[in-house]
Amino acid sequence: MFPYSTMLEPLFWIIMGFLYTIFIISIKYWAEDLKFKLNWWKWTLFSIWFIVLNIIIAGGFTLIGENETRAGLYFLGVFGTSIILLGAGLWKLMRK
């Protein structure tokens, strides 16, 4: 069964890689569509935010996977909420 399956696990990561590639390529067009005037530091901030978001999701679900469900949920609750709030702030900043 997934995630230990020899077939499904690589397939899962191939699909994830595909989705990430599409997402990263799309960001530029999405920003243009939303009429965001993005400069180098806005891109940097967004990249940092996105990496941290990924780390939080990965960290939280790793904890849940390691049978630390409570810790995982608290991790996602505290840091997940914080990153959403930062995301909202970043969105406002990027619109300027």
Partner 1 sequence: MEADEKIINMRNYSVHFKNWFIIIGVILVVIVAISLGNKRSKVKNKDLISNSIKNLDVETQFINSNKWLVVNPITGLKENYIFIGEGKGYNGPVKVLVLSDTNHVIKSVKILAQTETHSYFQQIFKTNFLGKLTGIKLSSVNNIDGVSGATKSSIGIITGINLAYLAGENIEFSENKKIQFGFLEILILILFALALINTRLRKKQYVRMVWWLSLFLSVIFLGFTYNQAITIARINSLLLGFWPSVYTELFVYILIIASISSIVFTGKNHYCHSICPFGASQELIGKLGKPKIRKPKNFKLLKRIQWSVTFFAIVIALFMYDPGLTEYEIYGGLFKLTATAAGFGLLIIIIISSLFIKKPWCRYLCPLDGFFKYLSIVRKEVIHLFK
By the criterion CB under 8 A, which residues form the site for partner 1?
73-74, 77-78, 80-81, 84-86, 88-89, 92
Contacts of 27 (CB under 8 A, 6+ apart): 46
Q: Which is nearer to partner 1, 6 or 67 (CB)?
A: 67
Q: How far is the CB of 51 from partner 1 (least distance, A)?
A: 20
Q: How far is the CB of 44 from partner 1 (least distance, A)?
A: 19
Q: How far is the CB of 3 from partner 1 (least distance, A)?
A: 26
**Core vs surface per residue 48-74: b (16+ CB within 10 A) or e:** ebbeebeebeebbeebbeeeeeeebee
Instruction: Look up tokens 């939280």; give the residue.
Output: 60
Q: Which is nearer to partner 1, 59 or 80 (CB)?
A: 80
